[in-house]
Structure 1
């Protein structure tokens, strides 16, 4: 089932600039992540080795509305262009062989459409094409297309649940896999927010300009790489948790910081074959020891 995690990563990237709110403004987010050196844990015997790797990442997401109008239900109908770029740099020390690339790039552009189909149901359509590479051999294999059709049920203003097919060619041929979308947030000074497949947080709103929360985020990158003369899908995934102060300068600019630790940081290589999608592995994925995590995000709108 490890390959399915790579699909979740792709879905997370697909939804990274997604919103189901009516917005006439250009929206963007600039984000940086930092994980210092931590020990490589060998999968065959779970031995913590002297080999170490770090992780530094910068990413930018943007959504540009093309049109937005209200339909006969007084609900928004939106067409927009979405774009994403993420670049990671890693240093590796004291390895006997190269296990991970030193660089990863994920970048795509696409289109999104959101509309209501009833008083309580909406339709979200997205399609993207981009480059997912380790920067050593950028060719046509590194170009991946993906898209999703999500039918979203709005139970109330605070809860939306959606599901639908996700199309991807990450396994060499176009195929359809199930996707899930969840957006739940309570109201009030104390709040809980869950956005799947991105993360969750619980916090307290001290003032209109300052919020403090505890957060868990699902993060990852993927790339098409050459290994043993084969084209393989590399999935690098991490789950981080920490304390997150959020400063709201205005309705158009919000700055947040996160300081905590990596709960999970692992990677996997999978052959780009259909038979490997739900194939159980005989051993755990290679991973790294838990260590410090720091991140910062600036969200803005124009």
Structure 2
């Protein structure tokens, strides 16, 4: 009998690794970012015996965006766009001083996304999106390592400086489809300022952005952002913990500056991570409200840099 789970795994991984070759002829931009989290003390669950240890994180992320299709109806000005994107992220944890293994050493996320945008009339538009991700420590890989997220959002354009979007997100983080509200707000005011909310934001897992920006001149802009992110991984711990689903939460605040010259954009950021927690659970919707112990790392500063090439 054919293994149905394996067929789905091949389909999703084929989408992840095949999409760049499909749309490479219509590339838009490529970006690389590195973020460094200094050594932080381990915070054990409240009801556990005291454990010692500390961990240092280095996150390396890659993204690329591709235009796949564009159509403009000259009779009514309606626009249709089909875009693709790929994302990759490696989180390396240097763990020292633990008396048992509670944190993984390496986490990987590779994903591909497609989105369709269509203008309905002068005031309304909508967008559809789908993201297929392989989130794993690669110690053991099967269909449980595949995470899907999709949704629809309707966008109301009040003016060229103000738009509001609302919709719904569907994801399978617990093995079955789950629904989540979606929201986007963009407001440009005072000539140089803007306010931006994206729920969800692009990238790995369920990412959110609440940001205020300032355009200093044509080349230099600054932003202060709150960027919560939850990524679910399928992991196989060598010791102590048997549950394979690991939810990794981060609550970072970041101040960033971006300088653009020609095709290149350079970004530097300084941030503060108020929370980094790891919870091991069962990938089953029946356990949605089950309380699992959280393993955390102390709040700490973060430093990052990135470069983007647009063409």
**TM-score computed with the length of structure 1 as normaliser:** 0.80
Residue matched to 1:218? 228
Find the aligned partners of 2:249 and 2:91 in 1 and give their Cα distance: 12
Which of 292, 299, 302 lines up with 1:293 in the alignment?
302
Q: Which has the higher contact order (CA 8 A, sep 6+)?
A: 1
Matched residue, 2:58: 56
3-state SS of the aligned residue for 1:141?
A: helix
Q: Compared with structure 1, are the counterparts of its residues 26 and 213 closer, same or farther at alpha carbon in structure 2 (3 Å cutoff)?
A: closer
Cα distance, 1:114–1:208 mapped onto 2, change above 3 Å: same
CA displacement 1:9-36 (0-9 Å, x = unmatched): xxxxxxxxxxxxxxx8613322111101
Query: Which of 1 and 2 has greater Rg?
Result: 2
The 3-state SS of whatever aligns with 1:81 is strand
User: Unaligned 5+ residue runs, structure 1?
Assistant: 1-23
How far is the alpha carbon of 1:122 from its aligned partner?
A: 1.6
When the two chains are superposed, the root-mean-square deviation of aligned CA atoms in Å is 2.7
Q: Secondary structure at the match of 1:91?
A: strand
Q: Distance in 2 between matches of 1:89 and 1:289?
A: 17
Contact 2:78-2:121 at 8 Å conserved across structures: no
Residue ranges of structure 2 left out of the alignment (5+ in a row):
1-25, 200-207
Does the C-alpha gap of structure 1 residues 254 and 237 become closer, same or farther in structure 2, counting only changes over 3 Å?
same
Secondary structure of the equivalent of 1:275?
helix
1:145-160 correspondence to structure 2 within 5 Å: 145-160=148-163
**Alpha-carbon contact 1:48-1:289 (below 8 Å) kept:** no
Residue 110 of structure 2 corresponds to residue 100 of structure 1: no
Contact 1:106 1:222 (8 Å CA) reproduced: no
Please give the alpha-carbon distance, in whole angstroms, between the structure 2 residues aligned to 1:159 and 1:29: 27
Counting only pairs closer than 5 Å after superposition, residues 75-154 of structure 1 correspond to structure 2 as 75-154=78-157
The answer on 1:258 being equivalent to 2:269 is yes
CA distance in 2, matches of 1:281, 1:159: 41
Q: Look up the match of 1:16.
A: none
What secondary structure does 1:26 align onto?
strand
More deviation, 78-87/139-148: 139-148
Counterpart CA distance in 1 for 2:49 and 2:165 is 41
The CA deviation at 1:98 is 1.3
Count of matched residue positions in the alignment of Structure 1 and Structure 2:
275
Equivalent pair of 1:231/1:271 in contact (CA under 8 Å): yes
